[in-house]
Amino acid sequence: MDTCRIPENASKCSGNTMECFMVLSTQAQKISIGILCGLFGTMCVFENSLVLYLIFSSPGIRKKPSYLFIGSLALADILASIIFVCSFVNFHVFNEAGFSKEVFLLQLGGVNTAFSASLSSLLLTALDRYISISRPSEYKLLMTRKRAWTALGVLWVTCATIAYLPLLGWNCCVLDSACSELFPFVDDNYLSGWICFTVVLLGCIVYAYAHVLWRARQHVAYMEKHQAQGGKQNTRMRMDVMLAKTLGMVLAVLTLCWSPVLVLMIYSIFARLSARLRKVFAFCSTLCLLNSMVNPIIYALRSKELFSSLRRVFSHFRRQLKASEESPEAESTHRSSVIET
C-alpha cells in the first residue's frame, strides 16, 4: 500500500492513508449513502441513456449542433454516474482499500473527466445558444456539425488531460507535499487548480447565459409587438427562447447541486476540516448525481423536439405491445377454426 503525508486531523489513523478518508462511521450512514448512490445512479444512467437514444435515433435532431452538445452532456453524466457510484460505494460503504494508488487515481481521474466534460458541454451549449440568438442569420455558417464535433473533441481531450495529471505525477506522494483532506494522494495545489478550472467554467457559463437570457427577453418583447407577422422567423425565435430557458434551468440546478461541494473544497484548502464536515462532504457529493439525474427530466419537459421524439418512441412501444397481445388471440382463433373444419 502506498503511503504519503496524511492530513494532520487524521493523524490518529493507523498509517494506512486510504482508511483515513473513510469517514462514514455508522452502518446507518453507509446504508444511506448506498441507497442514495444506487437510486440516483440508476435513474441517471437510464434517463441519460434515453436522451442519447432520442437524439441519435432521430435524423432531424442529431444533425443539430445544439443536440450534439446535449448528447455530450448526457454521455458525461452517464460516465460520471457509473464511475462515481462504483468507486464511491466501494470505498465508503464497503471500505475497500486493497487497490493501489494508481488504481485510485485512475478512478478519480475518470470521475473528474466526466464531471468536467459535463460542465464544459454546458458551456458549449451556452455559446451555441448565444450565437443562435444574437446572430440567427449567420448561425448555420458559424456553427456547423464539423465545428461542433471538433469542439467536443477538444473539450474531452482537455478535460481528460487535466483530470489525469495526478496519475501522471502531480500527486502528494511523488512530490512529497501536503495531501488534500478530502481525497487520498491528491496534492493541495492540484486541488486548488482544479477548483479554479471548475469555477472559471461556471463563471463563463453564467456570463454566457446572462447574455442568452437577455437576448431571449428582447426576442419575447419583439414577438409581442409583431404577433400578427408570424412566419418562420418568429417560430425560430420561439424555439431559441424555449431552449435558452431550458438550459437556464439546467444551469440553476447545476449551481445548486455543485455549490456545497465546491464550498467545502475551497474551505479545505484554507482551513482544517472536522470529521463532521468531511462526512457532510461525502453526502453532498451525492448531489452531483442528483444534478445528472434531473437534467434529462428538464429536457423531456422543456424541449418540444425531444418530447415529441419520446412520444413517438412510447407510441411505437404501445403498438408493438398491443400487437403482441393480439397475436396469441388471433392464433388461437385460427387454431379453433382449423379444429372445427
For residues 33 and 97, which has the higher predicted lDDT (pLDDT)?
33
Is the confidence at residue 71, as pLDDT, over 60? Answer: yes
Q: Are 307 and 67 in contact (CB under 8 A)?
A: no
Is the confidence at residue 294, as pLDDT, over 50? Answer: yes
Helix (H, G, I), strand (E, B) or coil at 179: strand
User: Which residues are 186's β-sheet partners?
Assistant: 171
How far apart are alpha carbons 215 and 244 in whole angstroms? 10
Length of the chain: 341
C-alpha cell at 338: 382449423
Q: Are 262 and 191 in contact (CB under 8 A)?
A: no
Is the confidence at residue 298, as pLDDT, over 60? Answer: yes
If we measure between CA atoms, which residue out of 287, 9, 246 comes closest to residue 129? 246
Domains in the chain, CATH or no CATH each: 24-307 (1.20.1070.10)
Predicted confidence (pLDDT) per residue in 142-166, tens digit? 888 999 999 999 999 999 999 999 9
| pTM for the model | 0.82
DSSP secondary structure letter of residue 91: I
Which residues, including other chains, have CB under 8 Å from residue 22's CB and lie 6 or more apart?
A: 91, 92, 95, 97
Whole-number pLDDT of residue 306: 83
Whole-number pLDDT of residue 318: 82
Whole-number pLDDT of residue 313: 81
Is the confidence at residue 78, as pLDDT, over 90? Answer: yes
Whole-number pLDDT of residue 166: 92
Is the confidence at residue 328, as pLDDT, over 80? Answer: no
The dihedrals phi and psi of 64, each to the nearest 5 degrees, come to -90, 130
Which residues, including other chains, have CB under 8 Å from residue 299's CB and lie 6 or more apart?
A: 51, 70, 246, 306
What angle is formed at CA 122 by the lines to CA 117 and CA 124, rounded to 5 degrees?
90
Average pLDDT, the chain: 80
Q: What percent of the chain is modeled with pLDDT above 90?
A: 19
Predicted confidence (pLDDT) per residue in 206-259, tens digit? 888 777 777 777 766 666 666 655 555 555 556 556 666 776 777 788 788 888
Predicted confidence (pLDDT) per residue in 253-277, tens digit? 878 888 899 999 999 888 888 888 8
Is the confidence at residue 141, as pLDDT, over 80? Answer: yes
Predicted confidence (pLDDT) per residue in 183-197, tens digit? 888 888 999 999 999
C-alpha cell at 336: 379453433
Is the confidence at residue 5, as pLDDT, over 60? Answer: no
Whole-number pLDDT of residue 98: 67
C-alpha cell at 314: 412510447
Q: Is 109 exposed, middle or buried (0-12, 13-18, 19+ CB in 10 A)?
A: buried
Q: How far apart are the first and last CA of the chain?
A: 80
| Residue whose C-alpha cell reads 482544479 in the numeric block | 194
| Residue whose C-alpha cell reads 446507518 in the numeric block | 28
- Angle in degrees, 0-180, between the axes of helices 304-340 and 275-302, rounded to the nearest 10: 70
Whole-number pLDDT of residue 334: 47
Whole-number pLDDT of residue 229: 52
